[in-house]
Amino acid sequence: MLTDQRVSKRIAIIDVGSNSVRLVVFDGQTRAPAPIFNEKVMCGLGRDPDGSGKLNAEGVEMAIGALRRFATLLRAMKISRVDVLATAAVRAASDGDYFCRRVFDETGLTVKIIDGLEEARLSGLGIISGDPHATGIMGDIGGGSLELVLLDQGQIQERVSLPLGAMRLHTVFGSQRDALENEVNRHLDSVPWLTEHQKLPLYAVGGSWRSIAKLYIAQENYPISVVHNMTMPFGEIADLTKIISQQSRASLEKIGGVSKRRTDSLPHAALVMHHLINRMKAREVIFSGHGLREGWMFEALPQEVRDRDPLLETCLSFAEDSERFHQHGEELYRWTDPIFRDQPANLRRLRLAACIIGDIGWNDHPDYRAEQSYNRVVRHPYLDLSHVDRVFLAYTIGSRYTGNFRGDAACDRLLDEDTRKSGRLFGHAIRLGHTLSGGVEGILPHSELVLDDKTLILRLDRKIGDLNGEVVDQRLSKLAKLMECDSKIEIVDAT
């Protein structure tokens, strides 16, 4: 049973957008909060075919019903902090304030209306929460607006909100291609810094743009279905968005991989992206699952917590939920450091992440530990890693559990042979460390792993000499073979 203390740390955010109303409950106010409940209702509040300037009447009733359900669930979950944020549809509608009052009267929830620049800022913080050194242009497309933010090394430099939401464009322009393109270009022309900062990546946020990624995954049989941090080079995404922007609803429904509620406006969202990436001459597009909600959470954290590495914090949480003994990932990392000293910072970070989660498969059947652990990392929804680094980390953990791990051919095509070899080396070193220590903290500091002139040496303090054995020797020998050197074990007096 969960303790009251653990339940009390949970936080809920309800995002009332032009297309949907979504409730997300996070497990706590931490550097890498995990969503433990996530529900979305496609209400279409911003759908205004008659140009009345009001919220869609049917959408209002759907939204109120969804919010009643959410309020009831939140009371049952004993969530003490609930933030309700409304964006473009509610802030632009003449009856937006009335809608907020009705929500409060019928559910007890207080709605905070976020203006366009604040929405842009929070979405930019959402990207920074996952990549503290993010440099590029973030675009967050909703139903009613497009927010753009210029990021430089994790700092917001410029921001703007434009009325280029996918639902709005579909409602106003339908299939009038020339008028639609003129509208998109007219608003993009008003943002001079798009052309002043070229060759940067576009961080693509918003359900419509993520639908483009999902369509690509479905059509190309792409091996990883997790959209977060999927990257596409300029040429590939430019061609894809051009094709999607020319499709009819019927054509998109035949293709599959896209929510039926988004098929009407998806061509408009694709057209906006197509013009945006051409204007900024984007190097690539990085699709992100982070946005306004994550930015809202991130801003509420103390600076000391914000400064932590989101990947390592996620791995620590992952390990705490999965491992047998007290965490000794950093101890294992320091122990392996002498034989991997000259590696670049990103590989060192990935090795530390692998050391932290190096025991996640202990309670799986021995025949499936490597495969299960590999799949858990590849498919983990919240890792802030590129897909290449995600597969590398998974390959490392798979190699930790078996000497001849082969991974998954479809995913591993993302790795070159040198990268795979690094993963095998990391995995075998972690395997040796766990074999020697039994996964228990405090043993590895009494030993040393060093490379001395083509010989890999494991030195053991005499007081832990009894830990030496055949299996330790075998694991050391296999690691040495991968490193193309000899191996030996030395028992020494402690210095």
The CA-atom distances, in angstroms, between 490 and each of 128, 240, 462, 487 are 47, 59, 9, 10
Residue identified by tokens 């965490």 is 327
Q: How much is the average pLDDT of 407-416? A: 89
Q: Greatest CA span in the chain, whole angstroms?
A: 85
- Give the span between the Cα atoms of 147 and 232, in whole angstroms: 21
pLDDT above 80: residue 201: yes
Q: How far is CA 363 from the centre of its chain?
A: 26
What pLDDT shows up at residue 2? 39
Task: State the angle between helix axes of 329-336 and 417-437 in degrees (0 to 180), rounded to the nearest 10.
Answer: 120
Q: Which domains does the chain have, with CATH numbers?
A: 11-113 (3.30.420.40), 116-294 (3.30.420.150), 309-492 (1.10.3210.10)
pLDDT above 60: residue 7: no
Confidence of residue 257 (pLDDT cuts 50, 70, 90): low
- Give the span between the Cα atoms of 305 and 349, in whole angstroms: 18
Q: How much is the average pLDDT of 378-391? A: 91
Q: What is the pTM of this model?
A: 0.92
Per the DSSP assignment, residues forming a β-bridge with 457 are 450, 488
CA atoms within 13 A on the CB side of 456: 23
Nearest residue to 401 (alpha-carbon basis) of 431, 421, 377:
431
Q: How much is the average pLDDT of 374-389? A: 91
Q: In the chain, what are the helix, strand and coil shares in percent, each to the nearest 5?
A: 50, 15, 35
What pLDDT shows up at residue 256? 67
The SS3 of residue 80 is coil
The SS3 of residue 220 is helix
Q: How much is the average pLDDT of 34-53? A: 90
- Give the span between the Cα atoms of 219 and 174, in whole angstroms: 26
The CA-atom distances, in angstroms, between 253 and each of 247, 248, 269 are 10, 9, 16
Q: What is the DSSP secondary-structure string of 160-207?
A: EEES--HHHHHHHHTT-HHHHHHHHHHHHHT-THHHHS-SPPEEEESH
> Tens digits of per-residue pLDDT, 275-310?
999 999 999 999 999 999 999 999 999 999 999 999
Question: CA dihedral defined by 53, 57, 63, 67, rounded to 10 degrees?
Answer: 100
Residue identified by tokens 């001395």 is 452
Confidence of residue 23 (pLDDT cuts 50, 70, 90): very high
What pLDDT shows up at residue 4? 42
- Give the span between the Cα atoms of 181 and 173, in whole angstroms: 10
